[in-house]
Amino acid sequence: EVLLLESGGGLVQPGGSLRLSCAASGFHFTTYAMSWVRQAPGKGLEWVSSVSGGGGNTYYAESVRDRFTISRDNSRTTLFLQMNALRAEDTAIYFCAKDYCSGTSCVNDYWGQGTLVTVSS
Amino acid sequence: QSALTQTASVSGSPGQSITISCSGTSSDVGGYNVVSWYQQHPGKAPKLIIYEDTKRPSGVSNRFSGSKSGSTASLTISGLQAEDEADYHCCAYAGSRFRLFGGGTKLIVL
């Protein structure tokens, strides 16, 4: 059974930092790219960032580029998201998700339950 | 890029069929086999129900079907059931791991 368990969310002041973690199990972690997707309160989903299976290739939404850093530790089957210079608009539930890529597209076939990040003074 | 456009809410009675639409551009929704759909119950994680425009993952009911015409994708749910009440999100893959979501559609089962 695929399990993804996020942690590290909480309340942080504007301009502050937070590091999210996602512990993965139930699949061969190294084989798959992983992503972070967020959902602001009462809003739709927003893709944030993805990392390749080996960790060497990273991808970011424009809204978080240069502030957020995605990484993974394959020896510990854990995904991370380092978030710096946080803004009020970063307030959201952050979901960790496993990628499934076919020849034409990538989707997220398994999701964690999410961790809430609140940016407020 | 702007989010894909979805109707805010749709409703139907048990047993009926409903369709949720998702509009984009030729650069996203209009791409080849790039649209997916997710179901999300309140307080829960999204669940993949359609990928590559029309395919269903193993275990997803065949009451869910996807289609596309040009830059508009559609999700049809037939034989509506109470447990189908949820938010539905469309998504278009635009390459280089970038994916664009819609604003979500709330399905109300009357």
For B51-77, how does the pLDDT look when each residue is reduced to its tens digit (9 = 90+)?
Answer: 999 999 999 999 999 999 999 999 999
Residue B79 has pLDDT above 70, yes or no: yes
pLDDT 10s digits, B18-47: 999 999 998 899 988 899 999 999 999 999
A89 SS3 class: helix
Per-residue three-class SS string for A17-34: CEEEEEEEECCCHHHCCE
pLDDT at A42 over 70: yes
Interface of A with B in 4-43 (CB under 8 A): 33, 35, 37, 43
Whether residue B3 is predicted with pLDDT greater than 90 in this model: the reply is no
pLDDT surpasses 90 at B81: yes
Q: Is the pLDDT of residue A120 over 70?
A: yes
Cα of first residue to Cα of last residue in chain A, in angstroms, is: 40
A53-78 exposure pattern, b = at least 16 Cβ within 10 A, e = fewer? bebeebbbbeebeeebbbebeeeebb
Distance, CA of A93 to CA of A105 (rounded, Å): 24
Q: Which residues pair with B17 in a beta bridge?
A: none
| 3-state SS string for B44-102 | CCCEEEEECCCECCCCCCCCEEEEEECCEEEEEECCCCHHHCEEEEEEEECCCCCEEEE
- Around Cβ B97, how many Cβ atoms within 10 Å? 20
Are B99 and B1 within 8 A, CB to CB? no
What is the band of B1 on the pLDDT scale with cuts at 50, 70, 90? low
* Percentage above 70 pLDDT, chain A: 100
Q: Residue A29 is encoded by which pair of tokens?
A: 């972690």
**If you count residue pairs, one on A and one on B, with CB atoms under 8 Å apart, how many are there?**
71
Contact A37, A97 (CB under 8 A): yes
Residue ranges of alpha helices (H) inside A21-85 are: none
Does the distance separating the beta carbons of B101 and A44 come in below 8 Å? yes
Judge whether residue B48 has pLDDT over 70: yes
Q: What is the pLDDT of residue B27?
A: 87
Tell me: pLDDT of A49 over 90: yes
Judging contacts by C-beta atoms under 8 Å, the chain B residues touching residue A59 are 96-98
Separation in Å, CA of B4 to nearest CA in chain A: 10
- When pLDDT is cut at 50, 70 and 90, the band that residue B95 belongs to is confident
A44:B93 CB<8 A: no
pLDDT tens-digit readout, A66-77: 999 999 999 999
Above 90 in pLDDT, residue A20?
yes
Please report the pLDDT score of residue B97 as a whole number.
85
Q: Which two tokens stand for residue A93?
A: 């539930």
The CA distance from A100 to A1, in Å, is 16
- Best residue of A43, A108, A115, A116 to probe chain B, by most B CBs closer than 10 Å: A108
Distances (CA, A) of A44 to A69, B36, B68: 22, 14, 21
Cβ partners under 8 Å of residue B4, min gap 6: B22, B23, B24, B28, B29, B90, B91, B92, B100, B101, B102, B103
Residues in chain A within 8 Å Cβ distance of B52: 102, 104-105
Q: What is the mean pLDDT of chain B?
A: 95
Enumerate residues 6+ apart whose C-beta is below 8 A from A53. Answer: A29, A30, A31, A32, A33, A74
Min distance A34 CA to chain B CA atoms (Å): 10
Which residues of chain A are within 8 Å of residue B44 when distances are taken between CB atoms? 113
Q: Give the separation between CA B73 and CA B52, rounded to whole angstroms.
A: 11
